[in-house]
Structure formats: C-alpha cells, structure tokens
C-alpha cells in the first residue's frame, strides 16, 4: 500500500478527480464515437469488443516496420495499412486505473482486474501503475513476437527507486535490476551452473537434505499421538515460507563467512560459491547480490507453489493416491528420489506444472522497449514503452486452456502417460476419465501461453533448481503423508501481494503413511 501511495498523482489532481463524476460518466462507461470530451481520455481511451479485436489476435509486423510475418499477418491491420499510434490502443487512463484499484478494491485482486480488461478491450490494452503507462498483452502470438525479436540486452522495467535504494545502501545490482552489458556478463556466468541439467544434478543431495529436515518438522506436529493419528497442519504456506526463508538466512550467513575468508586470504570451500569466486568476471559485491536475489526469488516460488499443490491434492483424493502410487513405483521403500527418478514421474511434474498455470507466482511479466521502437499488433510502440505480459490472463483463457479454473494436471500428460490416465490407472470417476478430452488438447497448447518462468535471455535463471526443489519436496510429502482438507474450510482464492499468494491460510489434516 505504501508503494501505491508513492505512485499516486498529486493531491490536487485527486481533488479534481473527486468532482468529475458529477459531470462525467463513470469510468465503466464507454464514450460513444464522436462524443469524447478531453476529460474522458483520463478514464478510457476507447473500447473494443473482444470479437472486434480478437480473443486470439496476433501481431502483424516485425521490429522497426519489417515485413509481415506471413502466418500472423492481417488480424490487427489498420484501415490504412499503416501502424497506428500507441495513443490509439484502447484501455484505461490513469484516474480510471486508480478507480479500479482503490474504489472498486482490486488492489489485492489485480490479476482478476486484468481479466476484466481483457474481456472489455481484447488482447491488447493500456493501463497505468501510478504515473507509468503499460501496454498489456494477453495473446500468446503477440507475446511470442515480442519475445523473439528482443535484442541482446532486454530490459524488464526500469526500477529507478530500487536502483536508488541499492546505491544508498552501497549494494551492487544483481540480475533483477541490472541492465546492458553488465547484466549480460552476470547472466553468462550464472547460466553455466544454473541452467545446464548436468550441473543442476549436483543440487539434488543438498536439496534432499533440506526436504528431510522439513519432513521431520511436519512429523513433529503429530506430537505423542499414534502413528496413524490424524493431526492438523495449519497455515501450510506460512510453514513452507518460514522454512524456505530460513534456508536463505543460512546462506546469507555462509556468504558473510566467505567474504571474511577472502579478506583473510583463506581458502573458500563449497562448489557453487567456489565456482563464482573463481570467476574473474564477477566482483564480490556482485556475487553477494546475485546469490541473494536468486535465493529470495526462490522463496515465494517454492513455498506458494507447493502450498497450492498440497491444497488441491487434499481436495482430490483419487489424484493424490495416483501420485502416491507413481512415486512409490519409482522410489520404493525408504529410498529418496533424485533427479533421475523425478524424470520418470510424469504425473508429479504435471501437478507442479498445473499449479504454476493456475497460480503463477509472478502473474505478469514486464518488458521495456529500449531500442528504436517496435511495431506490435498493428501499433507503433516507441522507445521507452512499458509492456505487461499478462500470464494469468492467458492461463484463465478458455480458448487456450479448456476449463481453465479447474485443477487438471492430466492436461499436461502426453502419449502413453495420458492414455494410462484415460484408462483409469491415474484416477477414477470424473477425475480419471471425464477430463481426458481436455487433456488431449494440451499437445496443441501454444508454447507462449505458459511461461511462468519467463522466456529468453531474461527468463528465470533459477528455474531448473526451483523445479527440482518442488519436485523433490512434493514427492516426499505425498510419499510420507496422506493429506485431507480441513472440515468446513472455505475455498482458498489467490490474491495479489506483489506476487500471487493464498488469500487465507491453507489448513490441512495429515496422517502418516505406514
């Protein structure tokens, strides 16, 4: 809320805005053609029905006015055949954005507000965050065209306030805020150890050690009850968040020790840190800031995604048992899964993938045009234009994902794995068969309709490690405990809090499997 207040227009402007409804239509009113007043532009710059702009509208021209992409051309062409101005993009003005957030109360449901705007304006519209205008994209073809024509130094959004804070505290920029050649240099160093599958394998043992400790914490909640006793696990998200955050605190302590060792001229042990420190391309402050950025970014991703996964598995016992059978078939007895075993658990990976579709931790991504401008969707976007890639809107689009608000991991299964589910080995009743046709459409899903970790050069550098951590933890959780919903509990919905989080605590009942 403090950040929102810092971005608000001056108080005098708000006073004038308070008087506007007496003379102007409400922000929801769409002005008729030819009757727009100068004031109305503050609220809305035109409106286009979804059928007019196209639920699956696509871009028609490439960067800097290059020739049309033959497959995508024509659906956004202007009557004159020339790119239109960014000012002609339909959307909501600055004051209308404030109205929706403050008066209508969507500040904590911003992800749902984007769906409202998508239905009203189509797949491309404008909105404001404070004084900054964003061009919002909610079409996989538009997002693909934007992503595939990025230059060597893509920029999310210029965060000057965060840059000032880092400078004031004497901290170096990390991957999150760095841009240009310095960002690329950092990224190239970190990519070597964080995105190559062979390198990621080395993280399995320490991650499993953390998961084992977590299982001990959960088991301790049972107290002195019988081994088969049902016991409560309140606020799952908070437990997982605290556990993940404790891990980052311990890493920060380790980094401080490393810094001290270097200052004393002593040898530094530890494979990952040794690799970073051995690189002459990163300074010590850059190593510290990048490691901290990566660890903190992983806290929300792993804790929230695992919480939602456990929540839905508790609601769907047939799915939970199918997943338990899969895990036990690959990792029998007291064995602990590794990266090779996870590769043989398609349903496990599908559960995590479906959770990230339904609850993307980062519900929107962002880009800033830093070159000479681009032509996208029939509009000319000048240098400095901010864009919002509305991932949550895509995940809730029934044209992209059938029954989008239903938790259906089977939609991600392929070939024989999908056939096994269809024939009942993956579930029973409606959970096992009725959704099989929906799952069959997953092979046709647009690759840019699902990008929870971003894409391209600025995609999440810790993606493979985060996925491995979630897979290992969920496999052990399902193998160790049977999960049940709290009796009488209301449905838990997501809310916007910088990232997408549960609106109310997720409370479960557990029983240890013997």
CA–CA dist 362, 63 (Å, integer) = 27
> Cα 2 vs. chain centroid, distance in angstroms?
23
For 342, residues 6+ apart whose C-beta sits below 8 A from its C-beta are 348, 349, 468, 471, 472, 475
The DSSP code sequence of 375-398 is: EETTEEE-TT-EEEE-HHHHHT-T
What is the widest separation between alpha-carbon atoms in the chain? 77
Binding residues: 460
Task: Calculate the dihedral angle through the C-alpha atoms of 291, 296, 298, 300, rounding to the nearest 10 degrees.
Answer: 180
Helix/strand/coil (H, E, C) string of 401-444?
A: CCCCCCCCHHHHCCHHHHHHHHCCCCCCHHHHHHCHHHHHHHHH
For 13, residues 6+ apart whose C-beta sits below 8 A from its C-beta are none
CA–CA dist 51, 119 (Å, integer) = 10
CA–CA dist 50, 230 (Å, integer) = 50
CA–CA dist 476, 328 (Å, integer) = 10
Binding residues for heme: 460
> Cα 480 vs. chain centroid, distance in angstroms?
28
CA–CA dist 16, 24 (Å, integer) = 12
CA–CA dist 241, 245 (Å, integer) = 6
Q: What order do you get walking across the sheet with 124-129 strand by strand?
A: 124-129, 132-137, 386-389, 365-368
> What letter would DSSP give residue 89?
S
């Amino acid at each position: 809320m403090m950040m929102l207040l810092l971005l608000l227009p001056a108080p005098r402007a708000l006073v004038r805005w308070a008087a506007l409804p007496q003379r102007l239509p409400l922000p929801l009113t769409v002005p008729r053609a030819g009757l727009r007043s100068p004031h109305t532009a503050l609220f809305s710059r035109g409106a286009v029905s979804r059928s007019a702009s196209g639920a699956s509208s696509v871009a028609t021209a490439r960067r800097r006015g290059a020739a049309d992409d033959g497959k995508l051309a024509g659906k956004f062409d202007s009557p004159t055949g020339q790119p239109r101005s960014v000012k002609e993009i339909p959307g909501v003005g600055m004051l209308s954005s404030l109205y929706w957030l403050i008066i209508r109360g969507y500040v904590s449901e911003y992800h749902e507000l984007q769906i409202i705007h998508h239905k009203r304006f189509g797949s491309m519209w404008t909105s404001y965050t404070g004084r900054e205008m964003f061009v919002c994209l909610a079409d996989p073809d538009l997002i693909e065209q934007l992503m595939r024509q990025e230059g060597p130094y893509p920029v999310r959004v210029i965060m000057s306030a965060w840059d000032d804070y880092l400078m004031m505290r004497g901290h170096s920029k990390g991957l999150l805020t760095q841009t240009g050649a310095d960002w690329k240099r950092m990224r190239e160093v970190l990519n070597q150890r964080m995105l190559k599958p062979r390198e990621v394998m080395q993280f399995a043992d320490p991650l499993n050690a953390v998961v084992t400790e977590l299982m001990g914490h959960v088991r301790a909640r049972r107290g002195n009850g019988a081994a088969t006793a049902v016991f409560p696990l309140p606020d799952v998200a908070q437990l997982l968040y605290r556990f993940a955050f404790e891990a980052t605190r311990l890493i920060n302590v380790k980094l401080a020790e490393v810094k001290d060792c270097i200052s004393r001229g002593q040898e530094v042990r530890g494979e990952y840190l040794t690799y970073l420190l051995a690189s002459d391309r990163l300074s010590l402050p850059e190593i510290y800031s990048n490691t901290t950025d990566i660890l903190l970014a992983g806290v929300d991703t792993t804790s929230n995604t695992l919480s939602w996964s456990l929540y839905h598995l508790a609601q769907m016992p047939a799915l939970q048992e199918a997943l338990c059978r899969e895990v036990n078939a690959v990792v029998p007895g007291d064995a602990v899964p590794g990266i090779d075993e996870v590769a043989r658990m398609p349903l496990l990976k599908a559960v995590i993938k479906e959770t990230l579709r339904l609850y993307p931790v980062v519900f929107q991504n962002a880009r800033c045009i830093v070159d000479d401008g681009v032509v996208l969707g029939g509009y000319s976007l000048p240098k400095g234009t901010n864009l919002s890639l509305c991932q949550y809107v895509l995940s809730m689009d029934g044209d992209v994902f059938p029954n989008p608000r239903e938790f259906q991991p089977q939609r991600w299964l392929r070939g024989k794995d999908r056939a096994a589910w269809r024939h009942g080995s993956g579930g029973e009743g409606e959970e096992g068969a009725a959704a099989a046709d929906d799952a069959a459409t997953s092979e046709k899903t647009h690759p840019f309709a699902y990008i929870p970790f971003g894409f391209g050069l600025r995609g999440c550098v810790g993606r493979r490690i985060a996925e491995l951590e979630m897979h290992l933890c969920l496999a052990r959780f399902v193998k160790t405990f049977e999960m049940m919903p709290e009796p009488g509990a209301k449905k838990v919905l997501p809310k916007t809090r910088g990232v997408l989080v549960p609106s109310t605590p997720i409370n479960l009942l557990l029983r240890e499997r013997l």
